[in-house]
Amino acid sequence: MSGIVAAMNEPTPGPSLGEGDRGPPRSWRRLAGFIVGVLMLAAAVVVVVRRQDELVGVMRSLAAAPVWAIAVLAILPLLNLGLSSLTFLVLMRRHGRVGVVEMAALIGSAWLLNYFPMRPGLVGRVAYHKAVNQIRVRDSARVVVESVAGSAVATALVVFETVSVQQGGWWNIIAGGVVAIVVGAAIGSVVAPGSSAVGAYCKALVFKVADVVVWMARYMLVFWLVGLPLAPAHAAAIAAVSQAAMLVPLVGNGLGLREWAVGLLASSLPSWYLFGAGVGASVEMADGLAADLLNRGVEVVLAIPVGLAAAGYLARRAGRSEQALGGHGGPH
């Protein structure tokens, strides 16, 4: 593991897009972000617990939930993990050789580690790529930027598609355009060479669109489990703000911030979204907080075993890599 430790001492790209050349932000900022996130999460729990009527209703809904719904709720985050791994895989393979299982383990370990202060998951992943895969830090930073850009495009496409379908009329033209873009990307991912930028971007876009759709499904499911069914267009908007919250660099995995963003958006959507269509108008902020706290709880329960298993796999793989290179952690 000495090669990874040495790589971690080199400048690594920060979580925000403008920090790639200046190195990570100061440690105290990240620690402060972690503390603020924990406090926001605790505040969300307090708000939900103090609303006893809503809490009792949520507990009753969960108790009456069918087994299949709980099973799907556990499977969907793992599907997100797989799609994120495939996205990074196709983007990273232009810069170095990375295995499918290896990338899945890197994303899985980062899923857990990024809950801790200083976002060690991001730093560790970049360091691993440099030490084991011989991928430059600047290339890893570029892939992070490309992934974020892909998420933004995919989220916009899904939101426009769901709004267009629900509105009908001339909005169907937008829906048709969105479908054409996604289908075109799928075709391009097959036709274009796998090592080309065009092929990688097409594949990444398809994976990202699927990832956003899975996030939509997760929010439709958790809101349904707490007794508040959502329209697809509302679920798409909530998924969009959820993704944005998780990109805030100083709060790992959007801890606390995501719950409040979902709660506030869910309670305000009926007043302006879909031109006052009124779907889901009974959603209160506490309801939105409760739904995403359920979502977060499932994530944490899954992230612990997945992250620990992934970290163990990567440690063994890094050890074998160092032995193959003569114990020096990389070529000289």
Per-residue pLDDT of the chain (332 residues; tens, 9 = 90+): 444 544 444 443 333 333 344 444 456 555 555 566 566 666 666 666 666 555 555 666 677 778 898 899 999 999 999 999 999 999 999 998 899 999 999 999 999 888 876 667 778 888 888 888 899 999 999 999 999 999 999 999 898 888 887 776 666 666 777 777 888 787 877 776 656 788 888 889 999 999 999 999 999 999 988 888 888 888 999 999 998 888 877 666 777 788 888 888 887 776 556 544 444 446 677 888 888 888 988 998 899 999 999 999 998 887 776 665 554 444 43
User: How many domains does the chain fold into?
Assistant: 1
Residue 331 lies in a domain: no
Domain range enclosing 31 = 2-11+24-144+214-324
Residue 169 lies in a domain: no
Residue 125 lies in a domain: yes
Distance CA 189, CA 175 (A): 21
pTM as predicted? 0.80
Question: H helices of 192-284, where?
Answer: 197-225, 232-245, 257-272
Rg (CA), the chain: 21
User: Of 107, 200, 129, 140, nearest to 20 (Cα)?
Assistant: 140
Distance CA 112, CA 100 (A): 19
Residue 209 lies in a domain: no
Burial class (CB in 10 A: 0-12, 13-18, 19+), 324: exposed
Residue 198 lies in a domain: no
* Cα separation values, 281 from 213, 230, 274, 278, 288, Å: 23, 10, 12, 5, 12
Residue 238 lies in a domain: yes
Residue 172 lies in a domain: no
Residue 241 lies in a domain: yes
Angle at CA of residue 69, ends 304 and 110, nearest 5°: 20
